[in-house]
Structure 1
Amino acid sequence: MKIGNVEIENSLALGPMAGVTDLPFRLLCKEQGCGILYSEMVSAKAILYKNKNTDVLLNIDEREHPVGIQLFGSDPDIMAEIGSRVAEGNCDFIDINMGCPVPKIVNNHEGSYLLTQPKLVEEILTKMVKAINKPVTVKTRKGFKDGESQAVEIAKIAESCGVAAVAVHGRTREQYYGGKADWDIIKAVKEAVKIPVIGNGDIFSPQDAKAMKEYTGCDGLMVGRAARGNPWIFKEINEYLKTGIVPEKPSAEEVKNMILKHASMLIEYKGEYTAVREMRKHIAWYTQGLPHSAELRRRCNEIVSWESLKEVIESRL
């Protein structure tokens, strides 16, 4: 698969997730066999107005390629200007968020709200593709409201504007992350456009990944929530697609080592105070389903230092 002029050897993608897919987590997923990475979504307006909180979101490591920066916004000129500026960095492509369902984003006429505005989408994409010297991609949803479906229309507009690839989450904005993802819409988008289509929604296992690929014919597979606390899922999917064998789940020892590695990388990246507090949610995801995990999570909510984190994890796992 190719995204514009970018060769994609492994079309397994880590879905962009705010507060989750920061640089350390992306690197862990890359080590486990993830082929395409995306930054957390970044506001084009926040970059324009030099909000210092955006700097950390734009950091790219040499080990990440191919990797895209995901921008969100609804002003065509700002999106084009900021997209062009960001593309001067060392990312491989610029992705546009047209799927975020969060009320504060939607109420600001951004994210999945754009599904209801095809003319505005066309203007944004036309200006961005013209201004940006790297491939432009789009991440979208099935539709805005339940019973609606705008994904095919948006994908066709994207292709006609010169967008290089489209990722489709098979849920409406109204569904958020509940209910079942509609793989038929991913299949419909794949049949409607010639650019690469990346399928997203309800890939929780290697078997799910194979089933989506076979059912929809999509070019790439995007894993989102199932990767939280489980970077191994990429290794498992790759192995299953190649051999048909489902690998064993990581042992408690492997989980422990991954948590400690993740924590140390996060501390190096964000400092001890912020990192140990952010690790609380990651530890909850890593340990879900393990024996005594409820007590472990309770203890982890009290950790305030690397030493206390290490002590809790090493004594409980």
Structure 2
Amino acid sequence: MEIGPYKLDAPLLVAPMAGVTDRPFRTLCMRMGAGMAVSEMMSANPLLRDSDKSRRRMDHEGESGIRSVQIAGADPALMADAARYNVDQGAQIIDINMGCPAKKVNKKMAGSALLQFPELVQDIVSAVVTAVSVPVTLKIRTGWDPDNRNGVHIARIAEDSGIRALAVHGRTRACMYKGNAEYDTIRAIKQAVSMPVVANGDITSPQKARFVLDYTGADAIMIGRAAQGRPWIFREIRHYLEHGTTPAPLPMEQEQAMIREHVTALHDFYGEVMGVRIARKHVGWYLQESDAGRDFRRNFNALEEAGQQLDALEQFFANNSLTNNRRAD
């Protein structure tokens, strides 16, 4: 799959997830076989750029691969300015968020709320594409609600306005993450446009990845929640797509080493106070399928020091085994 001058070495993308796809997580997923990782959503509001949260979201130091930065907002001029700003900071691709269903985003008429207003979609997309020389991509849902699945219409607007690739989550905004993702709309979008289309939603296994690619005709797939606590899903899917077989599971020692490395990277990236807090949710995802992990997580979440967290993990690994997670994305 190609996005402008950039060619992905695998049709696997890490979905942008606020509070999750920070630099440590992106780095880990790329090492596990993802072809590209899209960074966390950045607000187009210039007043928020100097916050600690925004500075960390813009931090791509030492990362390999293509640097794709997602921006969100509802004002075409501010979105254009945000795109220019992030390109100046090193972004190689700008991704526009019109897929987030969160209430706090939608009440500002951003994210998937924009799907209600095709003319505003066109204004935003055109402004961003005109503002920068790098490729611009777009992430959407299939529509606002099940009675208003206008994904094909939005996709055509996007392509006509210069968008170079489109990611589609197979649910409407009203569906949030409930029920099952549907792929018929993604299939119809792929048939309606010539730009690359990326399918997203409920891709939780190598076999499901193959099915979604074949059924929709999409050029690539995007994995979100299924990678939380299981970044090695990219390794599994990549092997299956290339060889048609499921790879042997990672050795338990390698999974444990990866978790230690991830937690340490969070401590280093955020500092001890924030790093310890953020590590709690990741460790919870890693251990959620472990019967012994329930009590451990309760105790782990009470720890306040980085060293205590790492020591606790060592003790847990010495006494227990892990189980691969299987969840919807």
Which of the five TM-score ranges fits, normalised by the shorter chain?
Answer: over 0.9
User: Displacement of 1:252 after TM fit?
Assistant: 3.9
Shift of the 48–75 alpha-carbon distance from structure 1 to 2, 3 Å rule, reads: farther
- The answer for the alignment partner of 2:296 in structure 1 is 296
Shift of the 116–88 alpha-carbon distance from structure 1 to 2, 3 Å rule, reads: same
Query: What SS class does the counterpart of residue 261 from structure 2 fall into?
Result: helix
User: Displacement of 1:255 after TM fit?
Assistant: 2.9
- The answer for the alignment partner of 1:32 in structure 2 is 32
Judge conservation of contact 2:9–2:35 (CA < 8 Å) in 1. Answer: yes
**Using the alignment, how far apart are the partners of 1:235 and 1:49 within structure 2?**
34
User: Displacement of 1:250 after TM fit?
Assistant: 3.5
User: Displacement of 1:24 after TM fit?
Assistant: 0.4
- The answer for the alignment partner of 1:138 in structure 2 is 138
Q: Which TM-score applies when normalising by structure 1?
A: 0.96
**1:198 and 2:198 aligned:** yes
Shift of the 271–282 alpha-carbon distance from structure 1 to 2, 3 Å rule, reads: same
User: Displacement of 1:52 after TM fit?
Assistant: 4.3
**Using the alignment, how far apart are the partners of 1:249 and 1:47 within structure 2?**
46
User: Displacement of 1:160 after TM fit?
Assistant: 0.2
Query: What SS class does the counterpart of residue 171 from structure 2 fall into?
Result: strand
User: Displacement of 1:246 after TM fit?
Assistant: 1.2
**Using the alignment, how far apart are the partners of 1:313 and 1:33 within structure 2?**
25
User: Displacement of 1:251 after TM fit?
Assistant: 4.4
* Matched ranges for 1:1-317 at <5 A: 1-46=1-46, 50-317=50-317
Per-residue displacement from partner, 1:167-226 (whole Å, max 9, x unpaired)? 000001111111100111111110010000000001001111111011111001100000
User: Displacement of 1:49 after TM fit?
Assistant: 6.1
**Using the alignment, how far apart are the partners of 1:125 and 1:307 within structure 2?**
46
Per-residue displacement from partner, 1:244-292 (whole Å, max 9, x unpaired)? 2212334443332111100111111111111111111101111121231
Aligned residue identity for 2:288:
Q
Query: What SS class does the counterpart of residue 142 from structure 2 fall into?
Result: strand
Give the percent of matched residue pairs that are identical in Structure 1 and Structure 2: 40
Judge conservation of contact 1:65–1:92 (CA < 8 Å) in 2. Answer: no
* C-alpha RMSD over aligned residues: 1.4
Judge conservation of contact 1:60–1:91 (CA < 8 Å) in 2. Answer: no
Per-residue displacement from partner, 1:53-86 (whole Å, max 9, x unpaired)? 3111111134332121000001001101111121
Shift of the 127–226 alpha-carbon distance from structure 1 to 2, 3 Å rule, reads: same
**Using the alignment, how far apart are the partners of 1:272 and 1:245 within structure 2?**
41
Q: How many residues align?
A: 317
Judge conservation of contact 2:76–2:123 (CA < 8 Å) in 1. Answer: yes
Judge conservation of contact 2:49–2:55 (CA < 8 Å) in 1. Answer: no
Judge conservation of contact 1:106–1:112 (CA < 8 Å) in 2. Answer: yes
Greater displacement, 261-270 / 59-68: 59-68
Judge conservation of contact 1:170–1:200 (CA < 8 Å) in 2. Answer: yes
Query: What SS class does the counterpart of residue 143 from structure 1 fall into?
Result: coil
**Using the alignment, how far apart are the partners of 1:11 and 1:191 within structure 2?**
18
**Using the alignment, how far apart are the partners of 2:48 and 2:287 within structure 1?**
39
Aligned residue identity for 1:233:
I
Q: Which TM-score applies when normalising by structure 2?
A: 0.93
- Structure 1 residues not aligned, in runs of 5+: none
Aligned residue identity for 2:90:
N
**Using the alignment, how far apart are the partners of 1:69 and 1:137 within structure 2?**
10
User: Displacement of 1:147 after TM fit?
Assistant: 2.5
Aligned residue identity for 2:144:
F
**Using the alignment, how far apart are the partners of 1:64 and 1:49 within structure 2?**
24
Query: What SS class does the counterpart of residue 55 from structure 1 fall into?
Result: helix
Greater displacement, 294-303 / 31-40: 294-303
Query: What SS class does the counterpart of residue 94 from structure 1 fall into?
Result: strand
User: Displacement of 1:47 after TM fit?
Assistant: 5.4
Judge conservation of contact 1:197–1:218 (CA < 8 Å) in 2. Answer: yes
User: Displacement of 1:243 after TM fit?
Assistant: 1.4
**Using the alignment, how far apart are the partners of 2:280 and 2:52 within structure 1?**
24
Greater displacement, 15-24 / 38-47: 38-47
